[in-house]
Structure 1
Amino acid sequence: MPGQVFTALTPWALALEQSAAGEAIRASAWLYPLANLVHLLGLVMLLGGIGLLDLRLIGLMRGLAPAALAARLIPIAAAGLVLMAISGGMMFAADAGPLIAHPGFRLKLLLVALAVGNALLVHLLWRRRIAGLPDDATPPAAIRLQAAASLLLWLWVAVEGRMIAYS
């Protein structure tokens, strides 16, 4: 099923690559490198924000209140995700045809969807329980498991992104 979705998107990807935006990004000496740099900044913000929160929810850094940490780090992580989406879209436009067919790119998009879904699930299911945790408390096992899954998913997204560049 996911393969069919990507196959259906191939004409759109090819049109995007051949568009003025795709051409401009490929032709510019600085647009693609700038997008790559912004993508890296977004990754640092995302993994830094969500990674620290996940580590706290796993049970580390017990002196920090989970709710206070979440209030400060989630906006940073969300801003990083937005930067990555914008810059990733720019880089995709430059090479959309081959990327839409690349198994690593497809896996990366699937992992991003799973990681974002997991983050929304944590927020919807556990927000009140996290808010009520004392600073030194270890969160319940279900929250720890979901935080570990989040950390692993986002790290896997980063690895897949780097692997695309080497294949």
Structure 2
Amino acid sequence: MPDLLRLALEQLENLPPSIWLRRSGTLYLLVNAAHIGSIGLLIGSIVPLDLRLLGMLKPGPLAALAPVLARTAAVGLALAVLTGAMLFSVRPLEYLGNSAFLVKMGLLGAGTLNAWIVRRGQAWARVLDQGRAGGAMRAQAGASLLLWLGCLVAGRWIGFL
């Protein structure tokens, strides 16, 4: 690991919020619970949306459901990233040495990039306008489902390594 990165991570570990989290089991528990809840919000929104886009779930009009579920997933992602960064700050050097953490970060980045591409693409506009998903949107929804569920599994894997 480059010296500059190691120094930055050591500084991060010595910031007051990181120290508070390490010293307070209750605070760590609450942030960890918020992280899990945020992940639940993200997965609980993105899985039904992806399944609906794939045509495997028919609970209601896609044009009405898609924007709500996408916004809810975005809020879940933002909160998960915030709380995850707080948890990371407690032991950053250890996490960077954990292969499951690195896999999770890669999947998180790929899932976020996929979501960004979806929201900027013509296929998403077609979903909102016509209420149905074409082949490109179904492929992106399938990729989304795999990426986010993979991220969830990798996150749980961290504690086992």
TM-score (norm 2): 0.91
Amino acid at match of 2:157: M
Corresponding residue of 1:152: 146
Q: Residue 141 in 1 paired to residue 135 in 2?
A: yes
Q: How does 1:1-167 map to 2 (within 5 A)?
A: 9-62=5-58, 64-125=60-121, 126-134=123-131, 137=132, 139-167=133-161
Listed as ranges, the gaps of 5+ residues in structure 1 are none
Give aligned-pair identity as a percent: 34
Alignment RMSD: 1.8
* Structure 2 CA distance for aligned equivalents of residues 60 and 7 of structure 1: 50
- Contact 1:65 1:133 (C-alpha < 8 Å) held by counterparts: no
Query: Partner amino acid for 2:130?
Result: L
Task: Encode CA deviations 1:115-154: one digit per residue, 9 max, x unaligned.
Answer: 01100111111221111334xx5x2222111101101100
SS at match of 1:94: coil
Give the 3 Å change call, closer, same or farther, for CA 36–63 of structure 1 in structure 2: closer
C-alpha distance after superposition, 1:54-105 (max 9, x if no partner): 1110112335222211121122111111111111111111111111222221
Structure 1 residues 63, 83: closer, same or farther in 2, change over 3 A?
closer
Number of positions where the alignment pairs a residue of Structure 1 with one of Structure 2: 160
CA contact (8 A) 2:43 2:73 kept: yes
